[in-house]
Amino acid sequence: MRTRFNPGRLLRPALALSLLLAAAIDAPARDTARGAYLVGIMGCGDCHTAGTMQGKPDMARPLGGSDVGWQVPGMGVFVGSNLTPDRETGLGAWSDAEIVTALRTGVRPDGRQLAPVMPYMGYKNMTDADADAIVAYLRSLKPVSTKVPGPFGPTEKPTLPYFTLVMPGK
């Protein structure tokens, strides 16, 4: 049987393709350079890059997780985690929205509230564009496989050096 030429059958895929191309062209390029700038001035590396607190940031593993923890009285000791796109030990398996929520509210995808050492209270008014730029920059990092220790509960013994709050005696 002879199939009749039906222009409608060609039109539909052509339309779908052009819509797809238009969407790709319309999507704004993610501002990785601004993200790098923001991550720099917001000091993420202070707490998320090993060595920074000793004045020698480990630039082989930028934002690959700290080697110094922070003790919060009554809460325990917390370590700035690996922010690189490694799936097992970093943020590789997190969605963009999950990262932005952690930045603005301190809530992790598993529901745990991050220790207030992570300055989410100061980041809560971050604009959508800045949050997106930070995520874009974090996604562009070289994945590093480092699982930071902790968090340690108030009665657990930390396995790494940590900062603490010393109350002066009266």
Binding site for ligand HEC (CB under 6 A): 39, 42-44, 46-48, 70, 78-81, 83, 99, 102-103, 108, 114-115, 117-119, 134, 151
In whole angstroms, how close is the CB of 133 to ligand HEC at the nearest point? 11
Is there a contact between 12 and 29 (Cβ–Cβ < 8 Å)? no
Q: Name every residue whose Cβ is closer than 8 Å to that of residue 159 and which is 6 or more positions away in sequence.
A: 149, 152
Minimal distance, residue 105 CB to ligand HEC, in Å: 11
Complex with ligand HEC: residue 44 or 136, whichever CB lies closer: 44
Task: Count CB neighbours of 17 within 10 A.
Answer: 10
The alpha carbon of 44 is separated from its chain's Cα centroid by a whole number of angstroms, namely 10
CB of 98 to ligand HEC, least distance (A): 8
21 or 33, CB closer to ligand HEC?
33
C-alpha pair distances (Å), 168 with each of 55, 96, 164? 27, 43, 12
| CB closer to ligand HEC, 48 vs 61 | 48
Token couple for 8: 């409608």
Residue 118 or 136: which CB sits closer to ligand HEC? 118
